[in-house]
């Protein structure tokens, strides 16, 4: 059968994946701390019909051969960790990272996960938790929350609470928020709920204090918006759809040729 | 038999060439969104009909292709905001070391692997001007100048090796082979990728072309077949 059939099919398949990635980005355009992905493609192998450099006659060598490519595949879907814009919320436990780094979250099974989404809350025991109720790690506990009148988080991660107990105001340092970064953050594995797990490709997490050694600073009262650019995604959507269509024309052409062949002998 | 039906083989061969042309066109179209992909052209040979010295065989010329050159003109630059995406504007290819040999690519979609080396999307190591792998720090932004110097924390880490190639051969996975040539005529753009240089309009036209060409060959083959059918009927009535 014709190679063109499968070549075009590979193109359609790649564009389908592209569409999946784009629609996922668009679906998460308002997700706090979301990082957009981009599908990258590469060509498949080539079949040599005539090898370059063979003798064309007794003396002459052909400078270039005849090579037929076999289509395309998705090489990777890379997360792009560019900074999202900050949105003011005035909530004291909404924390945005300006610069590199992730918060560490303790999963219910004891494993670690990492996130850029800084929409934290206090749970019934006074621990700082994410919206799913998973604790921020290292754990920070604020005891007797009813006496707390203010929580402040400094750009370098110090959490200080102001209490009003018995008519007297006291300040108390309750802990430090650490940030984590990776040799290759594109190698992180997204597991949903805005969380990432580290892999062999990303390398082990490197711990550091916010606002030092290239780690980003923490901005209290703000959230980091997703870095999805809706205009760009719409353009990508159009490109993907048209590419899909044109590839399907390749299949139609190949199919019509096959029909011609099959009607050759009457 | 008196009638020479060799032309039907020539027509069949012509049909096969049209199919190969379609194969190449669909490969270009499938890679219309592939970073750093270069369009492949199927070039036909122009053939001289040998002098007819009374032999019918000398009248026949089979359609043939000469070669499939890679058309190496610039693709459009696409902004990605990824600091490790580098597009080449102008001449040149990046040098990549894989476990099956050294190749060249225009696809500047790089990343840092878990050991800190600069790698491409297949995990191949990007080479610097000394043909060494490039190791980056864990900390600090990567800045790449227009001539390929990689700076981190104000320190020059390495310079990307960019060479031009002649007699380009596609290898697949975005890689090419060819004869190296020094070049200075390039500008690197950080945060961009080079789109493929496939012109979808031209490819559609070529697709129609190959389709029609195929139809012509096949119709002629059919006519020849019918002619033979008629000949068999002579004398039956």
Q: Break chain B into its structural domains and give their ranges.
A: 6-72+198-236, 77-194
> Do both A129 and A35 map to the same domain?
no
Interface of B with A in 68-107 (CB under 8 A): 68-69, 80-82, 107
What's the mean pLDDT in B127-135?
94
- Answer whether A240 touches B (CB < 8 Å): yes
Whether B174 shows a pLDDT value over 90: the answer reads: yes
Is any Cβ of chain B less than 8 angstroms from the Cβ of A137? no
Nearest to A38 among B66, B67, B80 (CB): B80
A148 Cβ under 8 Å from any chain B Cβ: no
pLDDT in tens, B38-69: 999 988 876 666 666 666 656 667 777 878 88
Is A257 within a domain?
A: yes
Residues A209 and A97 in one domain: yes
DSSP strand pairing (B86-90 vs B93-98): unpaired
Q: What is the pLDDT of residue B167?
A: 87
For chain B, say whether A236 makes contact (Cβ under 8 Å). Answer: no
CA atoms of A61 and A51, how far apart (whole Å):
10
How many C-alpha atoms does A104 have within 13 Å on its Cβ side?
24
Mean pLDDT by 10 residues, chain A (266 residues): 92 96 96 93 88 64 78 91 92 92 93 93 90 91 85 92 85 91 86 91 88 89 94 94 95 94 84
H, E, C per residue of B168-200: EEEEECCEEEEEEECCCCEEEEECEEECCCCCH
pLDDT for res A104: 95
B198, pLDDT greater than 70: yes
pLDDT score recorded for residue A166:
78
Residue B86 has pLDDT above 50, yes or no: yes
Q: Is residue A57 part of a domain?
A: no
The pLDDT value recorded for residue B1 is 45
To the question of pTM greater than 0.90 for the whole model, the response is no
Do A169 and A146 sit in the same domain of this protein? yes
Q: Is the pLDDT of residue B3 over 80?
A: no
Residue in B37, B168, B211 nearest the CB of A257? B211
A106 and A93, same domain (yes or no): yes
In this prediction, residue B2 carries a pLDDT of: 45
Please give the pLDDT value at position A259: 93
Give yes or no for B115 touching A (CB within 8 A). Answer: yes
Asked if A129 and A177 sit in the same domain, the reply is yes
Q: What is the mean pLDDT of chain B?
A: 88
Give the containing element (helix H, strand E) for A165.
strand A158-165
How many domains, chain A? Answer: 2
* Pair (A234, A216) in one structural domain: no
pLDDT at B216 over 80: yes
Contact B175, B68 (CB under 8 A): no
ipTM of the complex: 0.84
Q: Please judge whether A65 and B169 are an interchain contact, meaning their C-beta atoms are less than 8 angstroms apart.
A: yes
One DSSP character per residue, A6-50 reads HHHHHHHHHHHHHHHHHHHHHHTTT-TT---EEEEEEE--EEEEE
Specify the pLDDT at position B53. 67
A66 in a structural domain:
no
Does residue A183 belong to any structural domain of this protein? yes
Burial class (CB in 10 A: 0-12, 13-18, 19+), A224: buried
CA distances from B176 to A43, A167, A247, A256 (A): 11, 76, 24, 33
**Residue ranges making up the domain that contains A104:** 86-224
Q: What is the mean pLDDT of residues B163-168?
A: 91
pLDDT score, position B68: 87
Chain A residues inside the 8 Å CB shell of B211: 253, 256-257
Per-residue pLDDT at B55: 66
Structure tokens that stand for B184 in this block? 């200075």
Check pLDDT > 90 for residue B35.
yes
Q: What is the mean pLDDT of residues B174-185?
A: 92
Three-state SS at A75: strand
CA distance B112 to chain A (A): 5
Same domain as A120, residue A236 = no
A257 contacts in chain B (CB < 8 Å): 18-19, 22, 211, 214
Q: Are both A194 and A91 inside the same structural domain? A: yes
Query: Are residues A137 and A205 located together in one domain of the fold?
Result: yes
Chain CA centroid to CA B234, Å = 52
Please report the sign of the dihedral spanned by the C-alpha atoms of residue A93, residue A94, residue A100, residue A101.
positive
Closest CA to A56 of B67, B22, B190: B67
Number of alpha carbons in the 13 Å side-chain half-sphere of residue A224:
28
Do A160 and A75 have their domain in common? Answer: no
Report the pLDDT value the prediction gives residue A214, as an integer from 0 to 100. 81
| Claim to verify: residue A168 and residue A206 sit in the same structural domain | yes
Same domain, A212 and A156: yes
Is B235's pLDDT higher than 80?
no
Domain annotation covers residue A65: no
Using a CB-CB cut-off of 8 Å, the residues of chain A touching B112 are 183-184, 186
């Amino acid at each position: 059968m014709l190679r063109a059939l499968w070549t075009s099919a590979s193109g359609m398949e790649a564009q389908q994946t592209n569409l999946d990635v784009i629609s996922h980005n668009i679906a998460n355009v308002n997700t706090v701390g979301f990082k957009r992905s981009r599908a990258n493609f590469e060509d498949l192998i080539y079949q040599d019909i005539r090898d370059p450099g063979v003798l064309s006659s007794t003396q002459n060598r052909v400078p270039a051969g005849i090579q037929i490519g076999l289509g395309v595949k998705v090489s990777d879907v890379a997360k792009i960790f560019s900074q999202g814009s900050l949105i003011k919320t005035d909530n004291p436990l909404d924390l945005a990272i300006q610069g590199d780094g992730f918060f560490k979250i303790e999963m219910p099974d004891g494993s670690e996960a990492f996130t850029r989404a800084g929409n934290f809350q206090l749970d019934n025991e006074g621990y700082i938790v994410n919206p799913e109720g998973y604790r921020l790690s290292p754990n920070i506990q604020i005891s007797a929350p009813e006496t707390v009148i203010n929580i402040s988080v400094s750009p370098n991660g110090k959490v200080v609470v102001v209490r009003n107990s018995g008519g007297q105001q006291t300040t108390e340092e309750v802990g430090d928020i650490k940030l984590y970064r990776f040799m290759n953050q594109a190698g992180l594995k997204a597991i949903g709920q805005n969380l990432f797990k580290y892999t062999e490709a990303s390398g082990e997490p490197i711990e550091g204090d916010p606002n030092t050694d290239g780690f980003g600073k923490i901005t209290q009262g703000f959230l980091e918006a997703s870095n999805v650019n809706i205009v760009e995604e719409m353009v990508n959507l159009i490109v993907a759809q048209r590419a899909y269509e044109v590839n399907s024309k390749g299949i139609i052409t190949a199919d019509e040729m096959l029909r011609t062949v099959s009607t050759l002998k009457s | 038999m008196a009638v020479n039906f060799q032309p039907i083989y020539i027509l069949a061969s012509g049909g096969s060439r049209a199919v190969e042309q379609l194969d190449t066109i669909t490969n270009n179209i499938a890679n219309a969104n592939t970073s750093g992909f270069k369009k492949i052209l199927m070039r036909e040979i122009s053939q001289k009909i040998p002098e007819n010295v009374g032999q019918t065989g000398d009248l026949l010329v089979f359609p043939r292709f000469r070669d499939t050159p890679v058309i190496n003109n610039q693709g459009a630059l696409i902004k990605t905001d990824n600091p490790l995406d580098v597009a080449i504007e102008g001449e040149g290819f990046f040098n990549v070391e894989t476990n099956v040999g050294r190749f060249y690519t225009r696809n500047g979609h790089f990343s840092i692997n878990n050991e800190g080396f600069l790698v491409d999307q297949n995990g191949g190591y990007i080479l610097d001007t000394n043909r060494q792998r490039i190791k980056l720090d864990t900390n600090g932004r990567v800045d790449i100048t227009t001539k390929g110097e990689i700076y981190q924390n104000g320190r020059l880490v390495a310079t990307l090796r960019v060479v031009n190639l002649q007699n380009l051969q596609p290898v697949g996975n975005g890689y090419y082979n060819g004869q190296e040539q020094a070049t200075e005529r390039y500008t690197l753009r950080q945060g961009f990728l080079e789109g493929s240089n496939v012109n979808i309009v031209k490819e559609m036209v070529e697709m129609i072309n190959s389709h029609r060409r195929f139809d012509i060959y096949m119709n002629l083959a059919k006519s020849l077949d019918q002619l033979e059918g008629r000949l068999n009927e002579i004398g039956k009535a």
